[in-house]
Amino acid sequence: MRILQTGTWSDIAGRLTRTKRNSEAAGFSLLEIIVVIFLISMMLALVIPSFSVVREKKIKSDARRLASVLRYLNDSAISTKETFSLGVDFKEKLIVSNGPEGEKTRRFESLYAVELQSKGMVSEGELIIFFGPLGASEAFSFFLKDEGAAMTVVFNPLSGRVKVLEDLS
């Protein structure tokens, strides 16, 4: 057995304390930093893909809500023999429906453009679509766009049907 240094207990305790203080001041070891970076990257790998799923669900939800509003206005106009309107404000991304229950305003963040048979593609300003006693008088399509996702809501005036299409482009 080899003794490196002799001295009193207070000398040994002082040396141990100094050694401990020096290692505390040195910071984290490389292994600790690698483990923390690995754990953070694993958490991000699980969380980041869910954000794109949330955006995709939002645009699908907007498309279904819009299709529901269009069906409701068309069916209500035919059944009550009254004229109702649907106003579109592209700047504010609002759709204002004047139906049997009065005026309702809905925000569609992904609203991009509307294509009408009579006017073509409209993506600026305001637009009003009327639903008369025979339903809407022309076919139109609403285009919804979000980062990486696009949907189209198509209204057919002959059948009164509304289709929600997912754009694959």
- How do the domains of the chain map onto residue ranges? 37-166
Which residue from 130, 129, 154, 157 is spatially nearest to 143, judged by alpha carbons? 154
Is the pLDDT at 16 greater than 60? The verdict is no
Q: CA–CA separation, 54 vs 57, rounded Å?
A: 5
Average pLDDT rounded to a whole number, residues 92-121: 93
If 0-12 CB within 10 Å is exposed, 13-18 middle and 19+ buried, where does residue 21 land?
Answer: exposed
pLDDT of residue 8: 61
Is the separation of the CB atoms in 142 and 114 below 8 Å? Answer: yes
Question: What is the rounded average pLDDT for all residues in the chain?
Answer: 84
The larger pLDDT score, comparing residue 10 to residue 70, is at 70
> For the chain, what is the total number of helices (H) and then of strands (E)?
2, 10
Q: CA–CA separation, 134 vs 158, rounded Å?
A: 10
Is the separation of the CB atoms in 132 and 83 below 8 Å? Answer: yes
**Which residues 6+ apart lie within 8 Å of 109 measured at CB?**
58, 62, 93, 146
CATH fold for the domain made of 37-166: minor pseudopilin epsh fold (3.55.40)
pLDDT digits over 106-120, tens only?
A: 999 999 999 999 999
Bridge partners for 154 per DSSP: 141, 163
